Homo-oligomer: A and B are copies of this chain.
Amino acid sequence: MKIEKRYKKKIILNFTINIFKKLNLSRSNANLVAKHLLRADERGVWSHGIVRLPIYTERLEKKVANPRPKLRFKKITNSIYHLFGDNGLGFIIAQNGIEKCVKLAHQNGIGLVAIKNSNHFGMSANYLEYAAKKNCVAWVFTNASKALPPHGAMAAFFGTSPFGFACPTKKKNKPFVLDMASSSVARGKLRFAAQKGIKIPYGYALDKFGKPTNDGLKAFNGIMLPFGGMKGAGLSWMMDIVGGIFTGANHSGKVKNAINDFSGPANVGHLMICLKTNLFQSHSTFLEKIEYGIKKAKKLKKAKGFKTILHPGEPEYNCSIKQKNSILLSKNTIVELQKLASKYGVKSPFND
């Protein structure tokens, strides 16, 4: 087998839906989660795509996530709702949350949805894209299991929680989407550097003695740092406050790790804010100005090694266009998915 192989998206989608149905998700929710996972692959955010399927299935199987959550919205004001996720998969809860939040914004100009008793919701851009395509300016915050230290510490405390912001552009399907982890580098990249003995930039990690290091292996055995030093650490703390504390979810290092902690529900929290683009001017004026900014940015003199300036969300959009009908799976991922197929008695599309 080659290292990577391309598969028709529809085939992977159906396979994923079947897996989730075997784990007792409703057809519509299986469909929702599968689509959100594949959308991450489509956008080139492999880390949040189908490769994570075994993580979610394991939580369902071990009964620390609920396949049939009864979501409950509690009205606080006309613009504000509290959503109790009943320990369902984060995808389902967050998608319901963002749909409500957008509706509130359309009705009242602004919508706020705070979510507790949720789980890892995958790629934040799924919810951001939804809101932006519905003509909203949106923020989506979440907290996450501990991975990053506060500034000055060398123990994990905050999540690598993504900071999420989006708004529409003139191109309906190509919104401005800022979806960025608060870590300076993905842990997978540290592992790669460790294996290959590659030097990493200072500022990415501390060694196990708490000293800054540029050695991949020492970094992997130490602790990852937030992006931008104390600034990213501050953002990560903010996300634990607004995603965890404010919403009534777990916080301060207590969100359970989805991969290796099966002692109970993770109780992740999310916070969503949506604003109508046309609160202070017409929607079309808003779009014209966004377009003006993008065009002007693209004309700026380029830094060494850059041929073009892309706005946040544009690299992922470009990637998604290239992968409209098929996605690339690594050998390892295929092996993992084959295991799931036999484990849950689902026909595997990977046997060739």
Contacts and interface: CB of A to CB of B under 8 A. Distances in A.
A88 interface: no
What copy number does this chain have within its complex?
2
A47 B290 CA distance: 31
Contacts of A242: 137
A151 B252 CA distance: 33
Contacts of A180: 231, 234
Contacts of A152: 302-303, 306, 308-310
A272 to B, nearest CB: 12
Nearest to A153: B300
Nearest to A239: B165
A101 B292 CA distance: 30
A191 B234 CA distance: 26
Contacts of A231: 163, 180, 227-228, 232
A145 to B, nearest CB: 15
Interface in A82-111: 82, 108-110
Contact of A297 (B80, B150, B292): B150
Interface residues of A, number: 78
B303 A79 contact: no
Contact of A296 (B163, B176, B252): B252
A304 B80 contact: no
Contacts of A110: 77, 79-80, 110, 112
Given A273-B273, A293-B240, A280 B114 contact: yes
A178 to B, nearest CB: 4
A253 B241 CA distance: 33
B245 A289 contact: yes
A259 interface: no
A215 to B, nearest CB: 15
A84 to B, nearest CB: 10
Interface string A212-244: 100000000000000111011011011011100
Interface string A274-314: 01010111000010011011001100111110101111100
Interface stretch (A58-66, A200-208, A331-339): A200-208
B228 A280 contact: no
A311 to B, nearest CB: 7
Interface in A107-142: 108-110, 112, 114, 116, 137
A20 interface: no
A246 B304 CA distance: 32
A63 B220 CA distance: 58
A251 interface: yes
Given A227-B229, A228-B232, A279-B80, A153 B297 contact: yes
Given A80-B109, A137-B246, A252-B292, 5 more contacts: A82-B280, A110-B110, A176-B237, A234-B312, A246-B279
6 contacts: A149-B303, A167-B246, A176-B237, A210-B306, A228-B232, A240-B293
